[in-house]
Amino acid sequence: MIEVSGLVKKYGDVTAVRGISFTAEPGKVTGFLGPNGAGKTTTMRILTGYTPPTAGKAVVAGFDVFEKSLAVRKRVGYLPENVPLYRDMTAIGYLMYLAEIRGVKNRRSRAEDVLTRVGLLKRAESQIRTLSKGMKQRVGLASALLHDPEVLILDEPTIGLDPFQVLELRDLVKELGKNHTVLFSTHILSEAEQVCDKVVIINRGEIVAQGAPQELRGELERGGRVLVRANGNVDVILTTMQQTNGVKEVTQIPEGFVVTPSEASLDPRPAVAKALVNANIELVEIRPLAVNLEEIFLELTRRVQPDTETPTDESLLAADVVAEAAKE
Amino acid sequence: MRAIFAVYKREVGLFFRSPIAYAITFGLLLLIGLLFSDNVRQIALINQQGQATYGAEEAFLSNLFFITFLMFIVAPLLTMRLIAEEAREGTLEVLMTLPMGESAFIIGKFFAVWTVYTVILLLTLIHLVMLASYGATLDGGLVAVVYFGAWLYGGAVLSVTLIWSAITEDQIVAAFLGAASVLVLFLADRAAEIAANQPSTAGAADFLRELGLTAHYQNTMLEGILRAEDVAYFILVMIACLFITTLITGTRRWRAS
């Protein structure tokens, strides 16, 4: 269990984290999502007891990270970004070293257990410097699992892995989420959507949204808009759809037409399809403009950047369609 | 305690597997060996001329003087890596999120490097064996005090240079500043002499002298004088420096990296 309330971290004049609050429940993978420099690593460093917060409170596994730092550190497994390891040690040697500092009993068998868990037992005696990036990542993960911690904090664990390794690691994280509290940071949105039970989106040190990926999507569905592709005279298509009942607005974009219904709950597709067919227009495709996490993220991180140009509705639409097209 | 021992074991193992420790040991022993053989040659010359005013004891003492003097360069080379490398590689972050205080980490590292120095120091005993093989007899008490002092002296100097490894992530900078600060401590009694000549600064002379290394080793223990205050001085230097190093390592938690 991780409970964060009003957490602030300042480095001199720079405020990295501006009063964030969230919880991560046991038996779940909580995704910590944000662009680079959003404050993810800083927050994780506070949660692992590495750096103290400037203000606010964080309770990890039942202990305050600042007042009971050692108790927290005993119960947390941490995989820092870039996975620092001793390159001159063997994988098993490194794990046994950390196990000794942690006071883990049966060090060798425990180290072998976690190496088995991450699928690296056959490289146990290899020098860490000879391991591939993915293998190093797994050694790091194994070191976080050594003492069977209640809470696992993984800072961008999939960075730099090949697609196959990424899939493996995601499965492992999902698996670990079943009986640990896992906080998992990433800036890859589809990853958060696949792996996490809950997503906390952070930008510029502030939480901009949190909830299950599905909830977030529902919250931000933008008014049930649909994409229509049809062949025929553009003016005819536009006027036909504009005159259809329940249609508020029709916009032309390179990929086709975007129809906005007058009410968000109303599905304009049957009426629009009928009207087009009646007008002798060749209807090629009609489908909802689905909102995925990527779009939610883009929109949310745009919203809180007043100093950047406010995007127009058109550019958002274009982004939607580009994202859609990328899927296909 | 467990954590100190774990850090200590790893670090000692690393020293004996890394070329640095061997290179330093080789360099130091070569230099000392050359000076020693030159000393012995001069003694032989003098003795042939029938003026045996210069003996084995002097050769032995000058040997130890050079070993302790050369610590201003040996100590920073041994300690520069210890904390700077962990900070640069990021492994310090891993260690600082383990249930272990900074002090355990620093103490483990310090005892490891002191152990390495002890081994190097023990290797120089070979010169005593050589002197003995030529029939020279040395006072056992003198040898014991001189070596005990050199051991403490090394520990204190290593602890001073360790501070710099905690301050900077750059090993070269750590080594250079470490060497400079040891030289300052070594030359403190010269500064005391200068201060004593000026009425305005004469009051600081004693303080400066007592602060330096020379007043507690080269001028006392190296003459066979064992004083509790000198032993206390070296132990206090070590404790103070390890404390400072621990504090500095701790402040990393507050710094952005």
What integer is the mean pLDDT of B85-95?
A: 91
Reported as a single tens digit per residue, the pLDDT across B4-21 is 999 999 999 999 888 988
pLDDT at B240 over 80: yes
Asked if A99 and A233 sit in the same domain, the reply is no
CB of A90 within 8 Å of a chain B CB? The answer is no
Confirm if A300 and A209 have CB atoms less than 8 A apart.
Answer: yes
Asked if A301 and A201 sit in the same domain, the reply is no
The residue from A211, A243, A264 where one domain ends is: A211
Q: What pLDDT score was predicted for residue B208? A: 87
Reported as a single tens digit per residue, the pLDDT across A52-63 is 899 999 999 999
Q: What pLDDT score was predicted for residue A262? A: 80
Nearest-angstrom CA–CA distance, B248 and B253: 10
Number of H helices, E strands in chain A: 12, 14
Torsion of CA A61, A62, A67, A69, to 10 degrees: -20
Q: What pLDDT score was predicted for residue A91? A: 95
What integer is the mean pLDDT of A285-310?
A: 62
Asked if A154 and A6 sit in the same domain, the reply is yes
The amino acid present at B199, given as its one-letter code, is: P
Nearest-angstrom CA–CA distance, A73 and B47: 68
Nearest-angstrom CA–CA distance, B163 and B244: 7
Q: Which tokens sit at B237? A: 């230097």
CB of A13 within 8 Å of a chain B CB? The answer is no
For the ranges A319-328, B46-55, B78-87, the one whose mean pLDDT is highest: B78-87
Contact state of B90 with A82 under an 8 Å Cβ cutoff: yes
Asked if A72 and A149 sit in the same domain, the reply is yes
Q: In B, which residues are within 8 Å of A82 by CB distance?
A: 90
Q: Which among A67, A27, B197 has a CA at the least distance from the CA of B208?
A: B197
Helical segments of B18-125, H only = 19-48, 56-89, 91-96, 102-123
The residue from A169, A187, A211 where one domain ends is: A211
Q: What pLDDT score was predicted for residue A159? A: 81
Q: What is the CA radius of gyration of chain B?
A: 20
Reported as a single tens digit per residue, the pLDDT across A76-106 is 999 998 889 998 899 999 999 999 999 998 9
Contact residues for B241 (Cβ-Cβ < 8 A; gap 6+): B156, B159, B160, B162, B163
Q: What is the CATH number of the domain that holds A62?
A: 3.40.50.300
Confirm if A32 and A45 have CB atoms less than 8 A apart.
Answer: no
Nearest-angstrom CA–CA distance, B217 and B151: 11
Contact state of B94 with A98 under an 8 Å Cβ cutoff: yes
Nearest-angstrom CA–CA distance, B249 and A315: 49
**CA terminus-to-terminus distance, chain B:** 29
Helix axes B171-186, B56-89, angle to 10 degrees: 150
3-state class (DSSP) for residue A208: strand
Give, as one character, the DSSP assignment of residue B216.
Answer: G
Quick check: is A96 in a domain? yes
Asked if A198 and A233 sit in the same domain, the reply is no
Q: What pLDDT score was predicted for residue A315? A: 47
Confirm if A128 and A139 have CB atoms less than 8 A apart.
Answer: yes
Q: Which of A3-7, A155-159, B153-157, B225-229 has the lowest mean pLDDT?
A: A155-159
Which among B5, B14, B97 has the least Cβ separation from residue A50?
Answer: B97
Cα–Cα distance list, A235 to A73, A240, B135 (Å): 67, 8, 116
For residue A161, the distance in angstroms to the closest alpha carbon of chain B comes to 19
Asked if A156 and A298 sit in the same domain, the reply is no
Nearest-angstrom CA–CA distance, A179 and B226: 63
Nearest-angstrom CA–CA distance, B2 and A103: 7
Contact state of A70 with B99 under an 8 Å Cβ cutoff: yes
Confirm if B42 and B144 have CB atoms less than 8 A apart.
Answer: no
CB of A52 within 8 Å of a chain B CB? The answer is yes
Q: What pLDDT score was predicted for residue A302? A: 64
Q: What pLDDT score was predicted for residue B34? A: 92
Q: Which among B151, B154, B175 has a CA at the least distance from the CA of B79?
A: B175
Asked if A282 and A296 sit in the same domain, the reply is no
Instruction: Look at chain A and report how many structural domains it folds into.
Output: 3
Q: In B, which residues are within 8 Å of A143 by CB distance?
A: 94
Q: In B, which residues are within 8 Å of A101 by CB distance?
A: 2-3, 6-7, 95, 98-100
Alpha carbon A143 to chain centroid, angstroms: 23
Cα–Cα distance list, A143 to A96, A147, A281 (Å): 9, 8, 63
pLDDT at B239 over 90: yes
CB of A10 within 8 Å of a chain B CB? The answer is no
For the ranges A67-81, A260-274, B122-136, the one whose mean pLDDT is highest: A67-81
For residue A170, the distance in angstroms to the closest alpha carbon of chain B comes to 22
Which among B14, B91, B99 has the least Cβ separation from residue A73?
Answer: B99
Contact state of B94 with A73 under an 8 Å Cβ cutoff: no
Q: What pLDDT score was predicted for residue A126? A: 92
A306 pLDDT tier (thresholds 50, 70, 90): very low
Which among B6, B90, B93 has the least Cβ separation from residue A100?
Answer: B6
Angle at A180 between CA A174 and CA A181, to 5 degrees: 95
Asked if A159 and A303 sit in the same domain, the reply is no
Q: Which of A7-16, A317-326, B49-58 has the lowest mean pLDDT?
A: A317-326
Interface test with A, best of B97, B107, B254 (most A CBs within 10 A): B97
pLDDT at B237 over 50: yes
Q: What percentage of chain B has pLDDT greater than the value 90?
A: 60
Asked if A175 and A274 sit in the same domain, the reply is no
pLDDT at B201 over 90: no
Give the A window 246-285 contacts with B, CB below 8 Å: none
Q: In A, which residues are within 8 Å of B14 by CB distance?
A: 88
Q: In A, which residues are within 8 Å of B18 by CB distance?
A: 88
> Which residue shows structure tokens 């500043």?
B177
Reported as a single tens digit per residue, the pLDDT across A158-216 is 887 888 888 888 888 888 899 899 998 987 777 888 889 999 988 888 888 888 887 77
Q: What percentage of chain A has pLDDT greater than the value 90?
A: 34
Q: What pLDDT score was predicted for residue A303? A: 57
Q: Which tokens sit at A91? A: 């994988």
Q: What pLDDT score was predicted for residue A142? A: 93
Nearest-angstrom CA–CA distance, B11 and A118: 27
Quick check: is A216 in a domain? no
For the ranges A10-14, A110-114, A231-235, the one whose mean pLDDT is highest: A110-114
Q: What pLDDT score was predicted for residue A210? A: 87
Segments forming the whole domain that contains residue A268: 223-288
Reported as a single tens digit per residue, the pLDDT across A16-33 is 899 999 999 999 999 988
Cα–Cα distance list, B5 to A100, A102, B110 (Å): 9, 12, 11
Q: Which among B237, B217, B242, B213 has a CA at the least distance from the CA of B227?
A: B217
Contact state of B94 with A103 under an 8 Å Cβ cutoff: no
Q: In A, which residues are within 8 Å of B254 by CB distance?
A: 51-52
Confirm if A189 and A294 have CB atoms less than 8 A apart.
Answer: yes
Report the DSSP beta bridge partners of residue A28.
A181
The residue from A211, A244, A273 where one domain ends is: A211
Which among B6, B18, B89 has the least Cβ separation from residue A97?
Answer: B6
Asked if A153 and A269 sit in the same domain, the reply is no
Q: What pLDDT score was predicted for residue A21? A: 93
A110 pLDDT tier (thresholds 50, 70, 90): very high
For residue B98, the distance in angstroms to the closest alpha carbon of chain A comes to 6
Q: Mean pLDDT in chain A?
A: 83
What integer is the mean pLDDT of B176-187?
A: 95
Q: What pLDDT score was predicted for residue A321? A: 52
- Cβ contacts below 8 Å, chain A against chain B, sum to 65
Contact state of A85 with B91 under an 8 Å Cβ cutoff: yes
Asked if A145 and A13 sit in the same domain, the reply is yes
Contact state of A80 with B95 under an 8 Å Cβ cutoff: no
Reported as a single tens digit per residue, the pLDDT across B117-131 is 999 999 999 988 888
Contact state of B256 with A97 under an 8 Å Cβ cutoff: no
What integer is the mean pLDDT of B121-144?
A: 86
3-state class (DSSP) for residue A261: strand
Quick check: is A25 in a domain? yes
Nearest-angstrom CA–CA distance, A55 and A9: 7
For residue B255, the distance in angstroms to the closest alpha carbon of chain A comes to 7
Quick check: is A182 in a domain? yes
What integer is the mean pLDDT of B168-193?
A: 93
Q: In A, which residues are within 8 Å of B10 by CB distance?
A: 89, 97
Asked if A228 and A300 sit in the same domain, the reply is no
For residue B243, the distance in angstroms to the closest alpha carbon of chain A comes to 19
The length of chain A is 328
pLDDT at A287 over 70: yes
Interface test with A, best of B9, B91, B98, B249 (most A CBs within 10 A): B98
Q: What is the CATH number of the domain that holds A259?
A: 3.30.70.100
Which among B91, B99, B255 has the least Cβ separation from residue A84?
Answer: B91
